[in-house]
Amino acid sequence: MTKAAPWYAPWLGPEGLSAAGWGAVAGAATAAFLVLLVVPFLQRFAWWTAFLDHPEARKLHTKATPLLGGVAVALGMAGGFAIGSLVGRLDLPRPWPWWGLGAAAALLLGLYDDRFGMGPGRKLVFQTVIGLLFLAGGIFPQPFGPAPGFLLSLLWITGLMNAVNFLDNMDGIVGGMSAILATGLGVLLFSWGRHPEALVAFCLAAACLAFLRYNFSPASIFLGDAGSLFLGYSLATLSLVAAHAGVGVQASAAALLILGYPVFDICFVIVRRLREGRKIYQGGKDHTTHRLNRLVRGPRRTAAWVYFFAASLTWTGVALANAQGLPQVLLWLSAWALWLLLLGLRLARIPAQ
């Protein structure tokens, strides 16, 4: 019986770290450096152009704060990928033109919404078009055939863009969570030999981690809708690539678990608002993070708990990717579904402001 290769095997060559491994290291370091470099300039530009997020009743901050943090994360990821590809001698991912177009469109849509505002219906139409741009590349899981796989993937992309956008309601939450989720997706993709796509994930994770230098409570710059839509699109498409690259239902289950926390939050909000007779897209301080903040008393503690939940789900997803057989997959999915249901019931008892 052939012994399975260890999880770290793709990183190592005959003489140490492989070329792809060095590319991942160089790309991640470059992405982090670029974010740390450009954020101060973007902060000054935001103040100069009045590209600011002003306090409102449904928001937690009490003074105007620069936006454009999403631009810094996007620039860091793109620059890190360029350098990492050169160092690791990696080719571009096969669907990269469609992937890149979708990412740029998500960023531009968010910038427009940050500056001029946009109704939820019109925003959803544009999000659907962005999802179609990526899916035109033909990379998505097809467990039930091309047509159902296409529709489910389109729903996944638009849903995750909104889920991450919903969660961007407290300092450091989305940036830190996205760094964890992207790292998990990168590990999966790298272990399956999809090195260029893994490099995208690692550069995204490093860019988000560096952004926390300015975005962790108290934040001096926000991601804005540009950042949250860009991150939602990036995480959703990376998870689709991972589900397409892996073997069997385990790959799709792993991607679902890794992105479990934003899915949990948007499901929680939708259910609560429908029960209260409110519009789903009506903003408010009723997310899991707001209720958790009232429980643990402090945005930093809230962020730490969200990181813990995201890391736990991500670790389970990465481990599940190598699970043997459908029963083990169903067992883990059922266990997490039950635990999140209990967490949701506990948070629902905390009054929303």
Residue for token pair 């402001």 = 353
| CB-based burial label for 36 (10 Å; 0-12, 13-18, 19+) | middle
**Nearest-angstrom CA–CA distance, 91 and 108:** 26
* Both structure tokens of 177: 């969570």
- Cut 0.75: pTM above it: yes
Query: Is the CB of residue 296 less than 8 Å from the CB of residue 288?
Result: no
**Nearest-angstrom CA–CA distance, 59 and 52:** 13
Each residue's pLDDT tens digit in the chain (353 positions)?
334 445 555 566 555 677 888 899 999 999 999 999 999 999 999 999 988 887 665 555 557 889 999 999 999 999 999 999 999 898 887 778 889 999 999 999 999 999 998 999 999 999 999 999 999 888 888 776 778 889 999 999 999 999 999 999 899 999 999 999 999 999 999 988 899 999 999 999 999 999 999 999 899 999 999 999 999 999 999 999 998 887 778 888 999 999 999 999 999 999 999 888 888 877 778 899 999 999 998 899 999 999 999 999 999 999 888 777 788 888 999 999 999 999 999 999 988 76
Query: Is the CB of residue 32 less than 8 Å from the CB of residue 207?
Result: yes
Residues, the chain: 353
**Nearest-angstrom CA–CA distance, 274 and 305:** 26
**Nearest-angstrom CA–CA distance, 67 and 110:** 11
Q: What ranges do the domains of the chain cover?
A: 16-348
Query: Residue type at 270?
Result: I
Handedness of CA 76, 82, 86, 92 (dihedral sign): positive
- Helices 173-191/19-49 angle, 10° precision: 160
User: Which letter, b or e, does each residue of 190-229 get, where b requires 16 or more Cβ atoms within 10 Å of its Cβ?
Assistant: bbbebbbbbbbbbbbbbbbbbbbebbbbebebbbbbbbbb
Partners of 65 in beta bridges: 53
